[in-house]
Homo-oligomer: A and B are copies of this chain.
Amino acid sequence: MTPYFGILFDMEERELLGKIKRLRQESKKLATSSDDVRKRALILVAEALESNKDYLFAENGKDLENARKNGISDSLYHRLVFSEEKLSSVVKGLHDLALLPDPIGRIREKRELDPDFVLEKAAFPLGVIGMIFEARPDALVQIAGLALRSGNGVILKGGKEAQYSNRALIEVIKKATEKSEISDGWILGIESHADVDALLKAEGDVDLLIPRGSNAFVKHVMNNTSIPVMGHADGICSVYVDKCADISLAVKVVTDSKVQYPAACNAAETILIHEDVYKEFLPLLKASLDSYGVVIHGDDKTREVIEAIPATDADYHTEYLALECAIKVVSSIDEALDHIASHGSHHTDAIITKDKDAESRFFREVDSADVFSNCSTRFADGFRFGLGAEVGISTSKLHARGPVGLDGLTTTKWLLRGNGETVREYSGKDGKSFHHKELI
Listed in ascending order, the chain A residues whose CB lies under 8 Å from chain B are 28, 32, 111, 113, 117, 119, 121, 124, 126-127, 207-208, 222-223, 226, 228, 230, 246, 249, 252-253, 255-256, 260-261, 359, 363-376, 378-380, 384-386, 396-399, 401-403, 411-424, 426-427, 434, 436
Contacts and interface: CB of A to CB of B under 8 A. Distances in A.
Contacts of A427: 260
A281 to B, nearest CB: 14
Given A207-B397, A368-B413, A386-B119, A423 B376 contact: yes
17 contacts: A32-B364, A121-B402, A126-B397, A126-B398, A127-B397, A249-B419, A368-B413, A371-B414, A371-B416, A372-B417, A372-B418, A374-B420, A375-B420, A379-B421, A398-B398, A398-B411, A401-B411
A89 B436 CA distance: 18
Nearest to A267: B423
A436 B386 contact: yes
Contacts of A253: 418, 420-422
Given A32-B364, A386-B111, A372 B416 contact: yes
B397 A365 contact: no
A164 to B, nearest CB: 29
Contact of A113 (B246, B249, B368, B384): B384
A256 B375 CA distance: 57
This protein's copies in its complex:
2
A415 B260 contact: no
Contacts of A379: 113, 416, 418, 421, 423
A358 to B, nearest CB: 13
Contacts of A261: 423
Given A375-B422, A401-B413, 6 more contacts: A111-B385, A124-B364, A372-B417, A378-B423, A379-B423, A401-B412
Nearest to A352: B420
Contacts of A378: 422-423
A363 B413 contact: yes
A260 B374 contact: no
B374 A417 contact: yes
Contacts of A380: 414
A10 to B, nearest CB: 23
A386 B434 contact: yes
A374 B256 contact: no
Nearest to A256: B422
A224 to B, nearest CB: 11
A418 B385 contact: no
A234 to B, nearest CB: 13
